[in-house]
Each structure stands twice: as structure tokens, then as C-alpha cells.
Structure 1
């Protein structure tokens, strides 16, 4: 008898929460973000909800913590604290292929995978933020083509190095961007080697994911686009000789939860009001490459701003995010004011509503073939995560969409047991409220 499909669920640990003002409405202290107990507590809450993994992004550059306190600690250091406090929870950390050494990174990640019992995944990214290059003593980031060419060699070499563990062999590799003559003494982990994630939404990012990734953090905001993106990724994986079911697509999902829809919207608006002035406007402007504060807030964004061509190779931000945000704006372009309010996910899809409405949205996207799981972006840590664990997860379990216990001790084992959803047409759900992108307001769904 074939086991029922289930959704993969991880949580993106974004400082005190995805909302910039999360620290203002909770009993937290600024130094919590650089202490192990804060992260260990989040890990314990996530494991209580049987979440598959926690995820850390990384931006190794200086920023202003007064705007939003993020990236104050290196991801795998925080993940070690979480590993010590948990037994089954997956541990996904980001490390750049642009500014790391493949041998050192391969050894570091395999070591954590070994001591954690086979629970580690590497989110392999290129680095586009120009502020990062100075931290590594170079004048500027390589262009996009070069970064992705190096990334392909880098991931290939790291996976080859992991394969040498316990064998006494070494990798001799000379590429255009990476050269390695080494092997690893670290023994194999319980899952063999770390799981590989990839987060790019550009054409180069999709190709890198199709070649190497077992999990893909996608950035689509609307159902139809997500279904198509998943179809393209699976087809690209097949073109590289891989089984498409070995690739799991996990879009981001922002959540602001309330016991009623009105309560959720009131919370959302109160958190936005406490955010730094112009935060949402700046976020939207950065993705569209246009200052929306100079536009009439009562009018749509003029088409000429959305139709401008741009050079992907020299564009200084995420190409995938720009594409998906521009598509979302075209579909919801009633006014600048409405777009700014609806952009509450800051690039990720957002659901503001009750636990039932959040569960409905997850179920619709999963069964439509738009996603194999979700990377949850929580409004407030730890409060919001506990609310999701206590009120959303039980609904998904009741519907047979999520496990009640960890079936496998390793992260890779859980990837295998969470069978991929079929890439079928979504016509049966295309008219449902769950399809609606957050236009004039964040996504709200009627029962």
C-alpha cells in the first residue's frame, strides 16, 4: 500500500520575526540574537510541532540592526545550538559558493551532519549583495554568469568531497573557477552526507537547482506561476538525468495569525505601523528598481516602470525575486498604496488570517502541484511560531497532510518519505480564493 503524500514544513528563522517590529511587541532582549538559548528555544518549539527543519539565511555584511535585526550570528553556529537542544529537527544553513573554500566548507558541514545524527542541509547560494565583497577583501562581486559558473563547480566538488569520507580517496579537480586536490577524513554521517538546497529563481539558479539540489526555496507569489515553476524545475532535473521526484520545491509562506480574520488583519496593520518609516515602500522599490515613494499613491504604477528591460548579468539583486514581484504587481496594480500594503511578505507570499485559512492555503497549493512543502516565515519569534505549532499544525495533521511523529531520524529520510505531489493541472482549484495573490490586502480566504 502506497504511503499517503505529506507536505514538508520548515521555518525560516529571521531574527525576532519577519515583521520588522516584532521585537517591539514581545518580551525579548537585543542580545537574545547572539545567545544560544534563544535559538535552542525556537528549535524546541519547532520540534514540538514536528516541523521538518529550521532554516537560516545569511548575509555576511554590515547592516543597520535598528532597521531590522538580522544576520547577527553565523548560521551554522546557531544551528549547532539548535542541534544540541533537539533530536530530530532538520538544520538548514546558508553558505555562499562565491566566498567560501570548498574543502573547508565540505568538512565543516559534514562534521555538523555527523555529530547531529544526519540532520544537516546546505543552502548553496551565490552572493549578489555588493556590500559583501569588501568583507572578503575584493573590490566587487563577480558578475552573475561568473558566480553561477563557479557555483556549479563548487557544489559539484563539495558533493564529491563528501563522497570521499571514510574511503581514504581524494578529489583531484581542476575547473575554470575551482581547483581541489584533497579528501575528507570525517566519517560519513547517518544520512551519508548533507542534503543540498538551492534558492535561486533566475534561469541560472533553476539550472543549478536542477543539477544538484534536493530542496529548492522558490519565490513565486501566485498559484499558476508556482505550478509552472515546479513543472519547469522537474523537467530540468529530468534533462540532467535525475528523477524529478528527488527534487522538492519549497516556496516561502509568510503568516500573520489571528483567531478571527479581523484579529489577524488588526495584528498585521499594527505591526506594519510599528515598522521603521517606509520599510514596505523600500522593500517594494528595491525589487522593482524604482522609488515608489516618488509615485502618486492613489494611482497604479505606470507600465513604463514595469516594462523596462534590465541586464540580468549585472543586476545587483535577485533576478528571481524581481521577476515574481513584477508579475505580482502587474496582476494587482490598482494603486501604489494598495500594493505597498499588500507587499507585506516583502517578496514572499503572505496569508493573514485564521489557522483554518492558513491550512486551506497550504492544502490548495500542495494539491495543485505548486509546492512539495513550505518555508514558513513567521511574524514574531518565539510567539508566532508557538501559535502556528499549536493551531495550524494540528489542522494539517487532521487532514492527513502532515506527520504526527518523525518517521525517519535523518532529514534525507524525511525527504524520501514525504512523497512528491503529482505535477497535475490545477483547473479544479483555479477559481478558489486560495489562488488570489495579496493585492489590495494580504491574502484573505473565505470559508
Structure 2
């Protein structure tokens, strides 16, 4: 019997008007998309019709950019709370997975476990939690905090948080038979809900620091990451898979899905024209403000915009993303303006521009080269680029036998080929 060919996993990363910083200015974009449920229903149904494994909703508990005027210009500060949004989408879809971001910094394990367990029951076993540790001073200020917790402290709290949530979901460990009394949390009772149809909601993570990778190796089922080059993606993939054995896990127990921002059209010239149209819509102040927020530096504007990125002080912010941006600036000899414009196009993720064949070739090379188990697709603007990927690239991947033509299961774990937790 011929072994079944390994197939890639695909997530549709939903984000209001789109992932490009100037998406809201595109003539075909819906500026108020973030608060239009019909818009999200349309996107979810498009992704489900294309047989995506999941839709993914990111979140931050605060306005991302310190400059509120710039944040309002980009419409990126407008959007539904993701668990609430996915609960609404659960009844408008049948098979696609539903993954929401929630922070361990500003939640409590019992409440979060109950919310995701409810979403999982509502959807018939299609829920996933993207665990993050909030890295923004702006978010910290919204929760009565005296400041952002140090990076190591955030991950120490996250480890205990994740362990308590997993015990609650599985009905095992401390909270099954006795109180949990830990350094950060106290939990007395089990959940007041039956066990998940898929055993437990899928655990997703995106941290790429050393602490983040160890936490992922211990707890994650899926990891989203950012990698500009094949070499970066391959190194991350091998490193994370190599850490699993220390936690009694196997390489297949975790799916690594780097972000990719495709711009696709029938011809390469058309695709590049679409890309350039978006790039021309980026105001310099908006691009630099976004870059500043990810680098956790408030005064980037005092440096010459056509000069190199300066040496930056150590930060308690998103360390892996900062390292990626700094590495790219040095590798490609980019000015602050060039780096901001490039970063604004996909927020540090891999960008692919071309025909369906060219885009599929690039995805296939990383997938078969052992640098990814699939991809989190980040359309530049909605609904246009999601429509283009679904109509043009997905059929090409299916033709090559790299992606499913129909769902074989009903739960998110079944889509992803993950074991049911004991």
C-alpha cells in the first residue's frame, strides 16, 4: 500500500481590513470591517469553502500604537474581542477550526479555561487558544499594573497558567481532586462543563524566544512563527522539534505554521502591481510608528529616516520579533524608511508576490524542505487577497496533492492530525 502523502496545514489569519498597514486605504477594503459581523462571516465562509484548517484571531488588550492618532488612522484599534467573535462565527460555520488569542498576563486560568471550553462545546470541538504573554506597556496600563512584567516573570506565570488550564480541560491534576495552590494562582473547583469533543481545545503559541520555545515544546499543539528566509524558518523548525523529546513528546505532536503574506494574481506583473499599489499607500509616520511599537522604542523619529537603524537598548518587549527586525535591517542594509515600509507590509512575516504557481512553489519548497508543517496565511487586505488565495493558490496546492480537497474529520484536532489528549 502506498503511504499517504503528507499535506500542509493552512490557517486564515483574520484582521479587520487586512495585514498590510495601509489596507484600510485600499479602494476595495472595508474601513469599518473590524466591527462588521457580516464581513467576518463572509471571510470565515470563504476560508471554510477552501478547506482551511482554521481561522485565527489575534488580540491585544489596548491600543497598539502609543500615538492614538496614528492608531485611529489605520483603523487597527477597532475590532471585536476574539472569543466573542468566534462564538458568533461558530454558528455560521460547520467544520473550520476557531482559534483566538488570550493573554496569560491579564486573565485568570479558571475564567479563560471556561470561556474556551464553552467555545469548544458550541462549535463541536473546533476551538483553540493562542497563548500569549503581553509585552506592551500600553496593555499593562489598562489593568492597574505598575508596569510591564519582566520577560522571565511573564513566562513563569504563563507556565503555571497553561498547566492549570490543561488540568481543568482534561479533568486531571490538582484541580480534579484538590485545590491548586501555586505561586500565581489558586483554583478550587473543576470546570462546570463536560469534556471537549476533541479531548481539549488545541493549544497554540507564537513565542519564539528561548523561554517561548521551551513553553511551546512543553504545551503547544501548534506554533505560529515569523521567518523571512528559508534558513531562519528551517533553524526554528529544527530547534523546536528538537526540544520535544525533553518533555516526552514526538515531532508529530506539534505543527509549526509560519506566517506568510501572499499577494497573488494571474500574472507576475499583475501581482507586483498590486503589491506596489499597497506600498504606495503607506504614510511614513504610520510605518515608523508601527516599527517603533514592535521595537519598543518611542523616539525612533529622532533618527534620520533615510539612515540605518540605530543600536537599540535591551527591552522587555517582544524579544524574538525585535531580533528578527534588527537582523533584517543589518542583513539587507535597510534604512529606517525602507525597513518601516517593508515591515508594514506583513509585520515582519514572510511575503510572497507572484502567480498561483509561483506562490505554490515557494510554499511547497519550505514545506517539503522541512521548514514548516503548514502556514498561517495573512492576506494583505480583505476580502480581496483572501478571495485570491482561495480561488487561485488553494486549487494549485490541491492539484499537487499538497492540500486536502475536503475535510476528513469534524474537530480541529482531526483537521491538524493531532493526538487526542488522554
TM-score by length of 1: 0.85
Kindly provide the CA deviation profile for residues 180-226 of structure 1, in whole angstroms up to 9, marking residues without a partner as x: 12201201222011000011111111111011000001112111111
Q: In 2 relative to 1, CA 35–171 (structure 1 residues): closer, same or farther, beyond 3 Å?
A: farther
Q: In 2 relative to 1, CA 209–71 (structure 1 residues): closer, same or farther, beyond 3 Å?
A: farther
1:368 is aligned to 2:377: no
Report the Cα distance in structure 1 between the residues aligned to 2:132 and 2:23, rounded to whole angstroms.
27
Report the Cα distance in structure 2 between the residues aligned to 1:387 and 1:293, rounded to whole angstroms.
40
Match of 1:432 in 2: none
Q: CA RMSD in A?
A: 2.2
1:99 is aligned to 2:100: no
Q: Is the 8 A contact 1:206 1:233 kept in 2?
A: yes
Kindly provide the CA deviation profile for residues 148-202 of structure 1, in whole angstroms up to 9, marking residues without a partner as x: 000000000000001129xx94452222112212201201222011000011111
Q: Is the 8 A contact 2:24 2:74 kept in 1?
A: no
Query: 1:256 Cα deviation (Å)?
Result: 1.8
Q: In 2 relative to 1, CA 48–154 (structure 1 residues): closer, same or farther, beyond 3 Å?
A: same
Deviates more, 1:9-18 or 1:317-326: 317-326
Kindly provide the CA deviation profile for residues 301-322 of structure 1, in whole angstroms up to 9, marking residues without a partner as x: 27xx35x5x53xxx24211111
Query: 1:262 Cα deviation (Å)?
Result: 2.1
Q: In 2 relative to 1, CA 186–170 (structure 1 residues): closer, same or farther, beyond 3 Å?
A: farther
Match of 2:53 in 1: 52
The within-5 A match list for 1:270-419 is: 270-288=277-295, 289=297, 291=300, 294-295=303-304, 297=306, 301=308, 305=310, 310-311=313-314, 315-333=315-333, 338-343=338-343, 344-416=345-417
SS at match of 2:385: helix
Q: Is the 8 A contact 1:47 1:89 kept in 2?
A: yes
Deviates more, 1:95-104 or 1:266-275: 266-275
Q: Is the 8 A contact 1:19 1:275 kept in 2?
A: no
Match of 2:140 in 1: 133
Q: In 2 relative to 1, CA 235–71 (structure 1 residues): closer, same or farther, beyond 3 Å?
A: farther
Deviates more, 1:386-395 or 1:346-355: 346-355
Q: Is the 8 A contact 1:280 1:346 kept in 2?
A: no
Match of 1:204 in 2: 211
Q: Is the 8 A contact 2:28 2:384 kept in 1?
A: no
Say which of 244, 247, 272 aligns to 2:254.
247
1:184 is aligned to 2:199: no
Structure 1 runs not aligned, ≥5 long: 419-447
Q: In 2 relative to 1, CA 280–402 (structure 1 residues): closer, same or farther, beyond 3 Å?
A: same
Q: Is the 8 A contact 2:29 2:381 kept in 1?
A: no
Query: 1:291 Cα deviation (Å)?
Result: 2.7
Report the Cα distance in structure 2 between the residues aligned to 1:170 and 1:133, rounded to whole angstroms.
34
Match of 2:222 in 1: 215
Report the Cα distance in structure 1 between the residues aligned to 2:393 and 2:272, rounded to whole angstroms.
17
SS at match of 1:392: helix
Match of 1:121 in 2: 128
Q: Is the 8 A contact 1:396 1:402 kept in 2?
A: yes
SS at match of 1:80: helix
Say which of 166, 169, 183 aligns to 1:162.
169
Q: In 2 relative to 1, CA 19–184 (structure 1 residues): closer, same or farther, beyond 3 Å?
A: same
Number of positions where the alignment pairs a residue of Structure 1 with one of Structure 2 = 407
Match of 2:68 in 1: none
The within-5 A match list for 1:226-265 is: 226-265=233-272
Query: 1:89 Cα deviation (Å)?
Result: 0.5
The within-5 A match list for 1:142-153 is: 142-153=149-160
SS at match of 1:295: coil
The within-5 A match list for 1:46-85 is: 46-62=47-63, 64-85=71-92
Q: Is the 8 A contact 1:164 1:171 kept in 2?
A: no
- Runs of 4 or more off by more than 6 Å in structure 1? none
Q: Is the 8 A contact 1:26 1:383 kept in 2?
A: no
Kindly provide the CA deviation profile for residues 411-439 of structure 1, in whole angstroms up to 9, marking residues without a partner as x: 11122179xxxxxxxxxxxxxxxxxxxxx
Q: Is the 8 A contact 1:121 1:197 kept in 2?
A: yes
TM-score by length of 2: 0.90
